[in-house]
């Protein structure tokens, strides 16, 4: 998509208006729920890319505000940053729908399809264009498929912890915070944290000995 000329806020506002008016996005949102675009600093050095809105996100219209989002916020704080200093977006602008009984809320989530990801990807590209971060961090399989390609890996473990590229920008692949929520072990926390340490090093963020030792098995 083509964004208008202007400063970052002007261009982001135009992008938000385009997403909110998109008939396909609106058609995939249940009554009373919201289309979701990214949030954070438009001057962020680091941009996190997740999968899709969940139950809390489609209510508030903001990515990563549920349990996984709260965990991501703690990860960002562990890096020595505030949530407001980074930019957080999703591959998808709506919550992938599942069959529900009339009058009942959707229970659970499903991964977005390739077609759904392809439809929303231009909006993510536009956010990257506006923010122009130095580094990208893909959280989970769906985000990584959208950024690296749908046949680029068999298991996320094959590509996580490695530097890739998207749109000319360095891209680090790691697990989605929900990976920890399912089994909050130090081993799993450390896997993600090692990836974030690489992001901190690439972004020239200060790293203390305490930070280097987070989640090491004892």
Number of domains observed in the structure of the chain: 1
CA distance 68 to 46: 18
Question: Checking DSSP bridges between strand 163-166 and strand 169-174, what pairing results, if any?
Answer: antiparallel
**Does 165 fall in a domain?**
yes
**pLDDT tens by residue, 37-62:** 999 999 999 999 999 999 999 999 99
Tell me if 130 is assigned to some domain: yes
217 domain residue, yes or no = no
Position 179 in a domain:
yes
Range of the domain at 40: 8-97+107-212
What pTM, to 2 d.p., does this model score? Answer: 0.95
Secondary structure of the chain in the HEC alphabet? CCCCCCCHHHHHHHHHHHHHHCHHHHHCCCCCCCCCCCEECCCCCEEEEECCCCHHHHHHCCCCCCHHHHHHHHHHHHCCCCHHHCEEEECCCCCCCCCCCCCCCCCCCCCCCHHHHHHHHHHHHHHHHHHCCCEEEEECHHHHHHHHCCCCCCCHHHCCCCEEEECCEEEEEECCCHHHHHCCCHHHHHHHHHHHHHHHHHCCCCCCHHHHCCCCCC
Is residue 115 in some structural domain? yes
Q: Give the tens place of pLDDT for each residue, 146-177.
A: 999 988 899 999 999 999 999 999 999 999 99
Q: Which residues pair with 87 in a beta bridge?
A: 40, 47
Residue 151 lies in a domain: yes
Which residue ranges in the chain fall short of pLDDT 70? 217-218
Task: Tally Cβ neighbours within 10 Å of residue 120.
Answer: 23
Residue with tokens 């920890």: 180
Q: What is the CATH number of the domain that holds 66?
A: 3.40.470.10
């Amino acid at each position: 998509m083509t964004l208008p000329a202007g400063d970052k806020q002007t261009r982001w506002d135009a992008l938000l208006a385009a997403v909110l008016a998109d008939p396909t996005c609106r058609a995939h949102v249940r009554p009373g729920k919201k289309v979701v675009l990214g949030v954070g600093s438009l001057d962020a050095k680091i941009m996190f890319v997740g999968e899709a809105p969940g139950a809390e996100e489609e209510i508030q219209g903001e990515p990563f505000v549920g349990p996984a989002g709260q965990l991501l916020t703690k990860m960002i704080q562990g890096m020595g940053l505030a949530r407001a200093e980074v930019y957080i977006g999703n591959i998808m602008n709506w919550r992938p729908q599942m069959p529900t009984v009339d009058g009942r809320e959707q229970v659970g989530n499903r991964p977005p399809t390739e077609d759904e990801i392809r439809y929303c990807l231009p909006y993510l590209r536009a956010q990257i264009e506006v923010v122009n971060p130095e580094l990208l961090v893909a959280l989970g399989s769906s985000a990584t498929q959208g950024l690296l390609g749908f046949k680029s890996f068999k298991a996320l473990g094959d590509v996580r912890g490695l530097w890739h590229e998207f749109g000319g920008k360095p891209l680090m692949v790691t697990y989605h915070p929900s990976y920890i929520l399912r089994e909050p072990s130090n081993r799993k926390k450390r896997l993600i944290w090692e990836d974030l340490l690489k992001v901190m090093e690439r972004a020239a963020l200060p790293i203390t000995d305490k930070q280097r030792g987070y989640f090491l098995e004892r």
